[in-house]
Amino acid sequence: MDIHATIGNMMNNKKIIDFKLGELFCGPGGIAIGAKNATVISGNVEYRISHAWATDYDKDTCDTFTKNICGNRKNSVVCKDIRKIDFQRLNDISPIDALAFGFPCNDFSIVGEQKGINGVYGPLYSYGVKALRLFQPIWFLAENVGGLKNSNEGNTFNLIINDLYNSGYSVYPHLYSFDKYGVPQARQRIIIVGIRKDIDLSFKIPSPAPYAKFDNSCRNALENPPIPESATNNELTKQSKQVIERLKWIRPGENAFTADLPEHLRLNVKGAKISQIYKRLNPDKPAYTVTGSGGGGTHMYHWKEPRALTNRERARLQTFPDDFVFCGSKESARKQIGMAVPCKGVQIIFEAILKSFAGISYPNIEPSYSPMMH
């Protein structure tokens, strides 16, 4: 097995197997933080993952990733439209052992027009396939919204799985409900793990059972410990008097349509009534899904105070550490946070991958979807 970064014996005779990770559509760094924190030790061998290079097209997102992930390797982030990137340039930055790509989900999300593979963003998964075929990393992790499975009556999902399999990988897709893995947020994502076919091991879906006793409530996430006064991205959003008055009538867990509002505070909306409009968190449950939107009552709203959450509070629900700094405007930071993968959720999956390579068994469950194995 050709792992570029197998580091020889250390002074304490520990051997480090360090998978160099490349990322396409890297976002602000949720996957990267999860990878960085994933470490598995077996005997005198430590298995870990480190940053090799990353790409994204949004400048603020790239600045955030660079500031928090790259250290002094600022040139390891390529800020450019994926369709215009010379992939050989990525390999020149660093060879990789692993690839992660959270390909844009806009066309597969249940919110929106659901254009699927025929939308602007749908075909972008093919650049992940291109990278797999070109670089042939040992393993990969791909991420997308749960709605991907139903796009185009399931044909899009099958096409993507087949393309990944035909790139030389055994493929293990699963729908993860991150709130069951200790994340304080009801967020479902399809994560596809792939292991190169010439490697004699299989991947098993980690069980959520070890996290069943975690307190993943909003209250615990936002108050324990309190957010430090020095934390960045914690400025309040200005609320109009009408919004403040409306929120006072909405109880925890309710939204603008389920609350008993006085007539002058009701929303004049016909047709579909989106459940997250002016929805207040239930402090004793995980949050509803953090998104990148904000206007028209789509901010997330505190259960006790009549206000929207700050970006730092939203970042807590995504399990980012408090010292993680989001670059750009408040609106830009909000979008970055909403599009990220929960750090601690993906860390569990990375650790399962590392345990697979270390030959360590772990509690596992049946996959949501049938794997495709060689």
pLDDT at 4: 57
Task: Report d(CA 97, CA 198) in Å as an integer.
Answer: 14
The predicted-structure confidence for 246-289, as pLDDT tens digits, reads as follows 999 999 999 999 999 999 999 988 766 778 899 999 999 999 99
DSSP classification of residue 170: E
Distance of CA 87 to the CA centre of its chain: 23
Question: What are the residue ranges in the chain where pLDDT is below 50?
Answer: 106-117, 119-122
What would the two tokens of residue 329 be? Answer: 């405007």
| Domains present along the chain, CATH in parentheses | 6-212+341-365 (3.40.50.150)
The predicted-structure confidence for 234-252, as pLDDT tens digits, reads as follows 999 999 999 999 999 999 9
pLDDT at 274: 76
70 in active site: no
pLDDT at 184: 98
Q: 105, 218, 327, 343: which is the annotated catalytic residue?
A: 105
* Crossing angle between the packed helical segments 155-165 and 125-135, to the nearest 10 degrees: 10
Quick one: which of 340, 313, 352, 124 has its CA closest to 227?
A: 313
